[in-house]
Structure 1
Amino acid sequence: MKNLILLILLAGPLAGKIVEYDLTISETTLSPAGKERTALTINGGIPGPTLRFREGDTARITVHNDLPKEETSLHWHGLLVPNAMDGVPYLTTPPIPAGGERVFEFPLTHAGTYWYHSHTGLQEQRGIYGSIVITPRGGESVKADRDYVLVLSDWTNENPKEVMRTLMRGSEYYAIKKGNAQSLVGAWQAGALGDYIQREKTRMPPMDLSDVYYDAFLINGQASSRLPARPGETIRLRLINAGASTYFYAHSATGPLTIVAADGPEVQPTPVNRLLIGMAETYDVLIKIPESGSWEFRATAQDNSGHASVFLGSGPEQFATPIPAPNLYSMDHMMEAAMDSMEDMNGGMDSMSSPEGERPNAPYRQLKARTSTALPSSAPVREIELHLTGDMTRYLWSFNGKTLAEDSTIPVRHGEVLRIKLINDTMMHHPLHLHGHFFRLLNGAGNRSPLKHTVDLPPMGSQTIEFLANEKGDWFFHCHLLYHMDAGMARVFSYEKATNPEHEPALDPKLINPTFFITEGMLLNNHTMGMAMFMRGREDFGLRWDYGFEHEEYEADLFWAHYFDPNLTAGIGYRFTNQHEAEDRFFAEVDYRLPYLIDSSLALDSEGDLRVGLGKEFQVTDRLSLFAELEYDTNTELESSAGASYLLNKQFSLTSSYHSEHGFGAGLSFRF
């Protein structure tokens, strides 16, 4: 059958056998990064076992939840399964309660490399993932002497919930720890001071290739390992990026990698020197072992903060050429990725060619399906546009400016072709994954456009995908950067909503505006000031304080604030004070971010007094910052402060400042 998309999506399995697996999810103490930590494992290990099948088999997988207090789930990533078997808790499949079990059974209608992982909270980051290999009925069309599964992942010694809380409060600590923080001195040393100032003028936060500092990067659960191989052999490597928030460059000391499959389906063999793999993508690649030596395959984190290695063969070690460090101050590479994606979208595969760089973008322009993937010409086509939106400082991620909690559902009608234009309005990569369907990635290859289930959107870039709506039920669509999904970058494609407008998908409560408590401030020898608040979605509820030790004067605000966008927040509150000629009062306040990332505020209180404020932080080096604030109140008149702060660790900085009301002071800044 020439039409591959119909073969994959519509064909039922030929007679096959039932293949059974038992998977047990439990807590175990492991040390992937040299320190013992509580991890979540499948059958005692990270990753879980490789589940192997043949196309046409029926999978019967019993999942046991041995966690003492947590529910869990497993999603069969990339597999076309009945809606009830998809494994997204609440949406398609009930969660597996602590001490409970669930049997998943489904036919395997298509071959390739896939994987499975928890879709509950942040459990995937803690170790619940594993691989799936489905061999074609007639065997692999491209033969290899050996076949290895390589599961790439990232590991943090922190509890992922604490990671998320750190991200929510806009901390730059992870960038500093990785050596990727931007500063005035860093920009000057890079010859990019003008770019740095221009970025701040346009109110853009510093670029970052990843959100989280990781203590280790792993391949099959290890930072370094060895696999047998003989000189002259051709090895198939089944690469799976199971990282929670890490893009990897795959590269090998053996030379180019030949891509033969992407996200499961085969593609026309194409060589690449280095391969950028987004979270949740899979690629099958071939390498050929040279005559002698132990040859390194390396997976390097996109931000160059670390790598993991597998050595193939025996003899002297031959190392892969290191990936050059990124230039975070230059927009050139980001814009190149954006231009490449727009060329793909506009059918520019053959009209524009450029040599592969040392830090290549996703290889989509080179991918071509082995047979036609054209969709039925009789199907009606509906086009929609989704903008990827968000803010690193607030850590709120969304589509078209709305999180999953604010706009959860996109209706889809059975039988239509849905063509989706994806436009990334942010300065980060996003890997977007669609459950229950393969989509065509419109990369300029026409009828041979490749089939995928996950697509990378580079910063400020675009991609267009399309799929035939031939399912039923509710299907998840989300950013596979785990913390972005948790912060709201998700939707549900709902067949039910199209026929019943009253239908509302059942969403996991953990994905609906999780609440975090944060506090930060200064404790100096002359005064203390700071803030403690609960953050939930766009809402803040908290307390601000300012207390001078010498005169024992205080001001404390109980407040509620609503975040509109990266530049605008507004709120109301009640102020308690014992300052001279002041009294307790209600107030309303608007905070607005000006060009050059200057914070401004305007407040009006119930006594008719007006307060205007300006503030700016100057990041001199990665750890040293200067700050200045100016405030005018029609009652208390002018106040000003300026100081310096040197970061010691995630929680504390040494700080000194001069305040017009409190004088000179020194002590600690804190963040929890």
Structure 2
Amino acid sequence: MPSRRSPVLRVLVGIAVAIAVGAGALAWSSTLLGEYSVMDMGGAAVDVSGVPSGHAAHTEHSGRSGLSADPAQPGGAVSVTTLTADPDRPADVHAELVARQQTVDVPGGRSLEGYTVNGTSPGPVIRARQGELVEVVFVNESVAAGATLHWHGIDVPNSADGVAGITQDAVPTGGRYTYRFVATDAGTYWYHSHQVSHEQVEGGLLGAVVIDPAEPSAATDADIVALLHVYGGQHTLNGRVGDEQVAADPGSTVRVRIINSDQGTAAVWSAAPFRVLATDGHEVNSPSDVEGRKLLIPAGGRADVAAQAPQQGAVRLQVGGARGILIGDPTVTAPPSAQPTETLDLLSYGDPAPLGIDVSSPARVYDYVISRRFGIINGRPGNFWTINGKLFPDVPMFHVSEGDVVVMKIVNDSNDVHPMHLHGHHVVVLSRDGVAASGSPWWVDSLEVHPHESYEIAFVADNPGIWADHCHTLLHAVDGLIAHVMYDGVTTPFTINGDAGNRPE
């Protein structure tokens, strides 16, 4: 009598044979990498503009960290280690952040093994004023795999980007690393580890950053942070399971800085009108009331919304589905309202305003097409992500020169949602599925691209370095959905999978 396992074995053998045949048909090559440098990955992406390099639009750069040749590098190349904030400028804001691998206490829920910053998760809020120089000393007390801090959404100098194996080595247990950057752009941001990030971010090695405008705004009466995170299946708001109460005088306006550190999309809505003041640290021009619609915030993204306390009682702002913020009389509760079916379209929200860059004749035009196919990454066979048809590490590298205006078309040719995050820059959305943006300039660093959608975006190459451009569903990045924007003439001495133990994803 045949074993019950026989059909299963036949299926497994069939799959193995199919993979082997497919491997030959697709000319797979093993990508068991060992130690490697990002400098050796892939080849230059094809510029589809048809305009010879150097013959199209450049713009004046912001002067964050202009390129100058490093005589210690071959051919006068510039090392990422030299791309720093002014070393002679004293810091205005100082902080020390200590990472530990330990039990995370989740008030209102259950504890779990994870990571803390200064003993808690989320870690402390770093707050600065626009124009100040921030200096953070990061200490790894007990994270066994090493750790870093990436300043998500802040256009820091490249040496402060915190990506293990590209801009620094992972900080080992007992080690420390100093991050320095100017808080150039006011807004809501966050920090998290970029070493084994799919484990360390989910485990809680993260916190919020708020950069207040140089001139205080009179548009709101109060200002709060609402950081969303899932700890072992527990949906939390500022690290706690349950709602948060904000005492506010009747008629006063509260600015709620929502940070989505989850791996999925966060929905925000209210039975009362609210306004979207900013996306990813950039103010919306002439925001209007949102009624009967929900706002979607991608993984890694942020949105500042304004809610007004009612004349009596409290209003509930629902954030991330299971979590709510009650604004108004702290003695009163407000029941949840049903999630609206209609979504606010930021492509047409607010009023148009000048972009500040000329996108009519960009210096570089690139495609970033996301799909997937069977292959091998680091010796693992599987159905992996591709970029422009290429498997990691042979994905294209998007080369730019300082001052270039770059247009990129992101095409999601898959059935999954991809929150795409470009380090070191903000991008402006020009169109979606061929429909031109018609509202306030929609500046983001984390853009959610739904299945079979396409976006045309633009940015100015004004921050020299080697910058990750990846999906912030972090397991997607582990499976190859990561490329890099590389400035001509910039190189890195750091490697991945070597003795330093760098594993950025």
| Global fold match (TM > 0.5) | yes
TM-score, reference length from structure 2: 0.73
Q: Pairwise mapping of residues 148-187 of structure 1 onto structure 2 (< 5 A)?
A: 148-156=224-232
Pairwise CA distance, 1:415: 2.5
Amino acid at match of 2:200: Q
Residue in structure 2 matching 1:239, options 230, 255, 258: 258
Contact 1:27–1:41, Cα closer than 8 Å, also in 2: yes
Aligned to 1:530: none
Are residues 7 and 298 of structure 1, via their aligned partners in 2, closer, same or farther at CA, if it must alter by over 3 Å?
Answer: farther
Are residues 445 and 461 of structure 1, via their aligned partners in 2, closer, same or farther at CA, if it must alter by over 3 Å?
Answer: closer
Aligned to 1:478: 470
Are residues 93 and 461 of structure 1, via their aligned partners in 2, closer, same or farther at CA, if it must alter by over 3 Å?
Answer: same
Aligned to 2:336: 320
Are residues 30 and 471 of structure 1, via their aligned partners in 2, closer, same or farther at CA, if it must alter by over 3 Å?
Answer: closer
Q: Pairwise mapping of residues 81-120 of structure 1 onto structure 2 (< 5 A)?
A: 81-120=156-195
Contact 1:373–1:447, Cα closer than 8 Å, also in 2: no
Pairwise CA distance, 1:90: 1.4
Residue in structure 2 matching 1:217, options 221, 235, 248: 235
Residue in structure 1 matching 2:294, options 267, 271, 274: 274
Aligned partners of 1:415, 1:385: CA distance in 2, in Å? 20
Q: Pairwise mapping of residues 611-626 of structure 1 onto structure 2 (< 5 A)?
A: none
Residue in structure 2 matching 1:396, options 368, 384, 408: 384
Are residues 126 and 10 of structure 1, via their aligned partners in 2, closer, same or farther at CA, if it must alter by over 3 Å?
Answer: same
Aligned partners of 1:44, 1:70: CA distance in 2, in Å? 18
Amino acid at match of 2:134: A
TM-score, reference length from structure 1: 0.56
Amino acid at match of 1:321: S
Contact 1:276–1:363, Cα closer than 8 Å, also in 2: no
Aligned to 1:488: 480
Contact 1:277–1:362, Cα closer than 8 Å, also in 2: no
Residue in structure 2 matching 1:363, options 324, 346, 361: 346
Amino acid at match of 1:229: A
Residue 127 in structure 1 maps to residue 204 in structure 2: yes
Amino acid at match of 1:29: T
Aligned to 1:457: 449
Are residues 75 and 7 of structure 1, via their aligned partners in 2, closer, same or farther at CA, if it must alter by over 3 Å?
Answer: farther
Pairwise CA distance, 1:511: 8.6
Aligned to 2:404: 416
Pairwise CA distance, 1:6: 7.9
Amino acid at match of 1:150: A
Aligned partners of 2:129, 2:504: CA distance in 1, in Å? 41
Rg: which structure is higher? 1
Amino acid at match of 1:397: W
Aligned partners of 1:17, 1:430: CA distance in 2, in Å? 37
Are residues 266 and 6 of structure 1, via their aligned partners in 2, closer, same or farther at CA, if it must alter by over 3 Å?
Answer: farther
Are residues 247 and 395 of structure 1, via their aligned partners in 2, closer, same or farther at CA, if it must alter by over 3 Å?
Answer: farther
Contact 2:387–2:396, Cα closer than 8 Å, also in 1: no
Pairwise CA distance, 1:22: 0.9
Deviates most, 393-402 or 289-298 = 393-402
Aligned partners of 1:247, 1:257: CA distance in 2, in Å? 19
Residue 230 in structure 1 maps to residue 249 in structure 2: yes
Residue 437 in structure 1 maps to residue 390 in structure 2: no
Are residues 358 and 10 of structure 1, via their aligned partners in 2, closer, same or farther at CA, if it must alter by over 3 Å?
Answer: farther
Contact 2:392–2:481, Cα closer than 8 Å, also in 1: yes
Contact 1:388–1:398, Cα closer than 8 Å, also in 2: yes
DSSP 3-state at the match of 1:484: helix
Contact 1:274–1:358, Cα closer than 8 Å, also in 2: yes
Pairwise CA distance, 1:506: 4.8
Residue 375 in structure 1 maps to residue 394 in structure 2: no
Aligned partners of 1:68, 1:382: CA distance in 2, in Å? 41
Aligned partners of 1:461, 1:415: CA distance in 2, in Å? 29
Amino acid at match of 2:269: H
Aligned to 1:47: 122
Contact 2:362–2:407, Cα closer than 8 Å, also in 1: no
Count of residue correspondences = 406
Pairwise CA distance, 1:103: 1.0
Residue 284 in structure 1 maps to residue 304 in structure 2: yes
More strand by share: 1
Aligned partners of 1:8, 1:318: CA distance in 2, in Å? 49
DSSP 3-state at the match of 1:153: strand
Are residues 219 and 390 of structure 1, via their aligned partners in 2, closer, same or farther at CA, if it must alter by over 3 Å?
Answer: farther
Aligned partners of 1:425, 1:410: CA distance in 2, in Å? 19
Pairwise CA distance, 1:489: 0.5
Pairwise CA distance, 1:292: 2.3
Q: Pairwise mapping of residues 574-589 of structure 1 onto structure 2 (< 5 A)?
A: none
1:296-319 Cα shifts (integer Å, max 9, x gaps): 222235xxxxx1223233233212
Aligned partners of 2:421, 2:143: CA distance in 1, in Å? 31
Aligned partners of 2:250, 2:61: CA distance in 1, in Å? 37
Aligned to 1:633: none
Contact 2:372–2:383, Cα closer than 8 Å, also in 1: yes
Aligned partners of 1:504, 1:320: CA distance in 2, in Å? 51
Residue 258 in structure 1 maps to residue 240 in structure 2: no
Aligned partners of 1:465, 1:408: CA distance in 2, in Å? 18
Contact 1:256–1:274, Cα closer than 8 Å, also in 2: no
DSSP 3-state at the match of 2:288: strand
Pairwise CA distance, 1:397: 2.4
Aligned partners of 2:213, 2:59: CA distance in 1, in Å? 16
Aligned partners of 2:361, 2:170: CA distance in 1, in Å? 36
Structure 1's unaligned 5+ residue stretches are: 157-214, 302-306, 324-356, 515-672
Aligned partners of 1:316, 1:395: CA distance in 2, in Å? 51
Q: CA RMSD in A?
A: 3.1
Aligned partners of 1:322, 1:506: CA distance in 2, in Å? 50
What is the percent sequence identity of the aligned residues? 28
DSSP 3-state at the match of 1:485: helix
1:122-165 Cα shifts (integer Å, max 9, x gaps): 2000001111111111122x511110010111122xxxxxxxxx
1:517-537 Cα shifts (integer Å, max 9, x gaps): xxxxxxxxxxxxxxxxxxxxx
Are residues 130 and 512 of structure 1, via their aligned partners in 2, closer, same or farther at CA, if it must alter by over 3 Å?
Answer: closer
Are residues 427 and 105 of structure 1, via their aligned partners in 2, closer, same or farther at CA, if it must alter by over 3 Å?
Answer: same
Are residues 298 and 223 of structure 1, via their aligned partners in 2, closer, same or farther at CA, if it must alter by over 3 Å?
Answer: farther
Aligned partners of 1:494, 1:360: CA distance in 2, in Å? 35
Residue 73 in structure 1 maps to residue 73 in structure 2: no
Aligned partners of 1:8, 1:133: CA distance in 2, in Å? 24
DSSP 3-state at the match of 2:202: helix
Contact 1:408–1:490, Cα closer than 8 Å, also in 2: no
Aligned partners of 2:239, 2:302: CA distance in 1, in Å? 17
1:575-617 Cα shifts (integer Å, max 9, x gaps): xxxxxxxxxxxxxxxxxxxxxxxxxxxxxxxxxxxxxxxxxxx
Contact 1:30–1:37, Cα closer than 8 Å, also in 2: yes
Amino acid at match of 1:144: T
Structure 2's unaligned 5+ residue stretches are: 1-57, 66-84, 375-380
Aligned partners of 1:27, 1:387: CA distance in 2, in Å? 37
Contact 1:367–1:450, Cα closer than 8 Å, also in 2: no
Aligned partners of 1:492, 1:450: CA distance in 2, in Å? 22
Aligned to 1:34: 109
Pairwise CA distance, 1:425: 0.9
Contact 2:114–2:200, Cα closer than 8 Å, also in 1: no
Pairwise CA distance, 1:405: 2.1
Residue 62 in structure 1 maps to residue 137 in structure 2: yes
Contact 2:203–2:231, Cα closer than 8 Å, also in 1: yes
Contact 1:300–1:308, Cα closer than 8 Å, also in 2: yes
